[in-house]
Amino acid sequence: MARDKPSKSLTGGDTKPGISKLKSSLRQVKRLLLKPNLDAALKRDTQRRAHALDQELQTALKGQREREMVQRYRMVRFFERRKVERALGRAERELGELDGRGMGEAGKEGKERRRLEKEVRERRVDLGYIIHYPKSKKYVSLLKETTAEASKEREEVRAWVRREMDGGRMGVPRLGEGDAVSEGRGGSGVKEVEGKSKGKTEGDDKPDQKQKKEKEKEKKKKKDTPSLNVSSTPSRTQLELDEQPDPLEQEQLRAEQETALEEEHEYEDVMDLREEDDEDEEGWEGLGEGEGDEDDEDEEEEDGDEDEEEEDGDEEMEEDDE
């Protein structure tokens, strides 16, 4: 004798049904409830089933809306995440250089340190904004100027991200954490981001240890190599050579600037296309409403003509009877 497979939902089956199937099931259940003289137990079970189907339908519609919004604004969020990550990495490097030089908290160095710490904090909030922005809503650009209403919503989301980070309910975003989320491949839950941040902090010690070992090796090599200069004081030509910029660093900076310009142009093109799509949608909606009004007027005129014809027919019948 075969056993019945357990079902995870009242709609039956382990797999989730589609939206059209849920709608048809809900219509059938509502028709059953409209029947008179329905048994009390059957009516109670049917009402419970209708409530469960309605909840499952709302969940499916919400998921469909989230997928559409993520796919629609995927490129915008990707470009903004790249820009924010670049700014965050630059601020963290400058702050690390200050720590390496052992600058104090007073004077210009202290002001610069506080400025960089604030910059790092704000860029992390921006990264959390991109990762945790509500998926069911239209994405408000973080870097482009928008309307007053959109700016208000953007500041509300940023304030919420800041509160969650301060309260420890949201992991502090790091570089490279928003890849899966901003491109629609991951969730926006707090637990997932906390797990990623913990994994990165545990593995961040390995590259630091490698860098320390490499620096120690370089120091040993410098000590072992005999100095060719007769005097211990460096000459003027040596100081000038040391002050000259490294050509490799210049090439890297030039390449970064070129990629930043290219990404900025692509980002502007994507935003322009998105605005054109929004305008086209509004135009189609207005056109649909106008056509509906014209159809209603035509139907009213046809009904009026039919009423006049019926009145003329009644008058002719009365004349014939007389």
Reported as a single tens digit per residue, the pLDDT across 166-194 is 888 887 776 666 554 444 444 444 333 34
Q: Which two tokens stand for residue 87?
A: 């700014």
Arithmetic mean of pLDDT over the chain: 72
Q: In the prediction, which pLDDT does 316 show?
A: 63
Q: Dump the DSSP string for 19-51.
A: HHHHHHHHHHHHHHHTSSS--HHHHHHHHHHHH
Residue with tokens 């002719």: 316
| pLDDT recorded at residue 271 | 77
Rounded-to-integer distance, Cα 227 and Cα 221, Å? 12
* DSSP summary character for residue 36: S
Predicted confidence at residue 204, as pLDDT, reads 44
- Chain center to CA of 123: 16
Q: Minimal CA–CA distance to 104: which of 113, 116, 117, 95?
A: 113
Q: What is the pLDDT of residue 210?
A: 67
What is d(CA 188, CA 193) in angstroms, rounded to the nearest whole number?
A: 8
Overall pTM > 0.85 = no
- Which pLDDT score is estimated for 111? 83
Positions in the chain whose pLDDT score sits under 70: 1-16, 102-107, 174-210, 221-246, 278-322
